[in-house]
A and B are shown apart, each in its own frame.
Chain A
Amino acid sequence: MSETSKINLHVWPGRWDLPSVEPACLASILFLELALPGNFDIIECANPDLSPSGQLPFLTHEQRTVATLPSIMRYVAQLKSATGEKRHDPDHAIDADLTAVERARNLAWQAHLELNMGDLVAHMMYSLEANWVKLTHPTLAGFLPVPQKYYVPARLRDSYRARLEAVGLWNLPGIEQEPKKPFEAPVKQTKESDPKEKYLRVFERAKVEEKARSSFDVYSRLLGKNDFFYPYRPTSIDLTLAAHVLLLTKPEFPDPLLQTLIRESYPTLVNHAEHVYRFVFPTGISKLNRTSMPGYSIRSLVPISATNSSHVAKEVDPEDVRFARMRWTWIAVAVGGVAYWFWEKRGLILQAVAIAQEQQRAAEAAVDGEGDMTEEEDEEVALGLDDDT
């Protein structure tokens, strides 16, 4: 691949000896390093609004922008070969050696990993209060400039809330669940010794552990005693599982609920993740081409930048064009309708304006009349005074 057609992968920056702090970003780095070693640059970016999907990672290559991990995998697998022919290139598609049924099965496991392991990682990072306050929030805020560092981390956390509530993993007991209002008086914290609170906390934590165990058991059985899910080489599901497990084991979580569980009860998964990581980065991540995205612009503070400010050309999809066209048609019809209404009712409007002006003139005339009366009365008073003298 020539230098001019180098791929740029935009991801959340890295911490904890990992190239990114987000599972999909980390999986995409592992994937690209395996599929196109040395032929891509990592752009550390903390502005998801630049992505067509509003999420990181996204990839830019020539005139194309590709967002979400499955799309990136598909795009890289179908990259044009040196001859210009569009085909599956075995060097690029790490699942190319699999049969059609195995690829189908991999797709299902990929969905399972993104949902189940994604929920568990999100629970550790966003749901558990201690981890959020002492680890995730400071980490995310450290990537962001002023003023975004004051509100973007909380918005990211809120975006996960609906998903985690739906799967029963938003389980902060007691008052932590309540939204905080500005200028609200501090609420007295419930004491740890409160038996009800203690019971609730233990019960909720046991529920989370049970849920995590059911997922970890499935992956352990699937992996068995093998190094990878398929012989010899990691495939896409190895990379996705490793990305999630690494983000459960590497950070120093203040509340290590699932970290302890996976380290103590599932060494197979931890070893698998480390094995995959060493396979992809045998000499570490220091040789990765990493650059930071230039700072935020003022335009990022207005929502219109979410769709228009991307400095990279997008691959235009007919479906998106149709949606955008329908949206603008609706806006045009609404504005046109209002304009037409004003035009149709212009007689009434002009009449109303004329009446208002008339009333104003009448009111001014009345005020003037009252002023005149006052002057006459003054004169009368003055004459009366003269008579007296």
Chain B
Amino acid sequence: MSVFQLPAPLRSFFVHFPLHTYDPILPKNKKQTTAPTLWIAPPRTGLDPDNTDLLSSDVKCLKWQAYLALRGVTGVQVRYDVAPDGGIDGRLPNLQVSLEGRVASPEDGELLAAHLIPTWVDGWLERHGKKGADPLEGHLDQAAKDESTAWVALLEGQIHAALVLAQPTSSYISSLLNLSAGNSRPFNSLLNPPPAPFTGLTSLVPPSGTRIAPSLVYAQYSDAIGALSERLGTDKWFLGSESPTALDALVFAYLHIILHSKEDVRIEVTRRVNLVAWEWRVRGLVRSAFTKIA
């Protein structure tokens, strides 16, 4: 017995607590992970349960969908009912994979952030008797691998900037209500040098907003799409690779999103036959690689 005892009035008061104990809340749909499941942002058609188009409307999610499909990973399911806040670091996509007996069944599996997906894919391919990690990442040679970094910069810089600009802007009220808006990458972090503030640098008014000349952004975008078309030519895959690479996945993601965007940006792609035909062919491969989670 402790030397210090609670005074009787306090003890009699605390007896009443807790006033009510609720039953534990158990997850309703806890299921054992049976197949790798990619968590993505919803497709263009939204959260419709009868949705047959499983390609995400978000370029980053679609990039990883295409990556999994083009690397030859099969049997992957997708789910798009998880908000970005539910992902690791508040971002999608995430890949939910089985722990393969490392913990007792039933288990939820392990959730991987996007940057861990290539390592998991290499392991999966090796387990299934296919070619896994490749130092050249599927490119013909080191020069082609280096060149792919330049095309990635073009896609994620100038083309992404035009895509952001072409997206409809949300109203002020909806931007206040939409708490997840803060996760999107600000426009002035896409380009270097970053765009100037709308109020100017030299005025006495504190800097506010972003000063963007749409004609300049679209002119650079037009050049970039022209260059992309020229570089693809009649090749099966970008940079003349014999098999698809991560660059092909990224190019497909951007082309697919552009082809379902506003006329301003779409027209630059639709007037280039080789890009449209290439996107159509890859879309078939990517679409057939995924099933919706049961």
Listed in ascending order, the chain A residues whose CB lies under 8 Å from chain B are 22, 24, 47-49, 52-55, 67-68, 70-71, 74, 100-101, 103-105, 107-109, 111-112, 114-116, 118-119, 122, 147-148, 152, 155-156, 158-160, 162-163, 165-166, 218, 221-222, 296, 300-303, 305-306, 317, 319-320, 323
Contact = CB atoms under 8 A, between A and B. Distances in A.
B136 interface: no
A53 B216 contact: yes
Interface stretch (B34-42, B124-132, B145-153, B275-283): B145-153
Instruction: Tell me the dominant secondary structure on chain B's binding face.
Output: helix
Contacts of A159: 188, 193-194, 196-197, 201, 207
A20 to B, nearest CB: 13
B146 A222 contact: yes
11 contacts: A54-B200, A55-B196, A67-B216, A100-B230, A104-B231, A108-B154, A111-B224, A114-B157, A301-B204, A305-B200, A306-B200
Contacts, number: 158
Interface of B: 142-143, 146-147, 149-151, 153-154, 157-158, 185-186, 188-205, 207, 211, 213-216, 218-220, 223-224, 226-228, 230-231, 233
Instruction: Tell me the dominant secondary structure on chain A's binding face.
Output: helix
Contacts of B205: 302-303
A9 B231 CA distance: 32
B192 to A, nearest CB: 4
Closest 4 CB pairs of A and B: A54-B196, A306-B200, A118-B192, A104-B227
A307 to B, nearest CB: 8
A101 B230 contact: yes
Contacts of A152: 201-202
B171 to A, nearest CB: 12
A162 B189 contact: yes
Contacts of A160: 193-194
Interface centre among B185, B190, B194, B233 (most CB of A within 10 A): B194
Contacts of A319: 214-215, 218
Contact of B146 (A54, A118, A155, A221): A221
Nearest to B213: A53
A326 to B, nearest CB: 11
Contacts of A103: 227, 230
Contacts of A165: 189
A115 B220 CA distance: 14
A105 B150 contact: yes
A114 B192 contact: yes
A66 to B, nearest CB: 9
Given A67-B216, A159-B197, A160-B193, 11 more contacts: A24-B193, A107-B154, A155-B197, A163-B189, A163-B191, A221-B146, A222-B146, A301-B204, A306-B198, A306-B211, A319-B214
Contacts of A222: 143, 146
B157 A115 contact: yes
Contacts of A122: 192-193
B3 to A, nearest CB: 41
Nearest to B185: A166
A122 B142 CA distance: 28
A366 to B, nearest CB: 46
Contact of A163 (B150, B192, B201, B207): B192
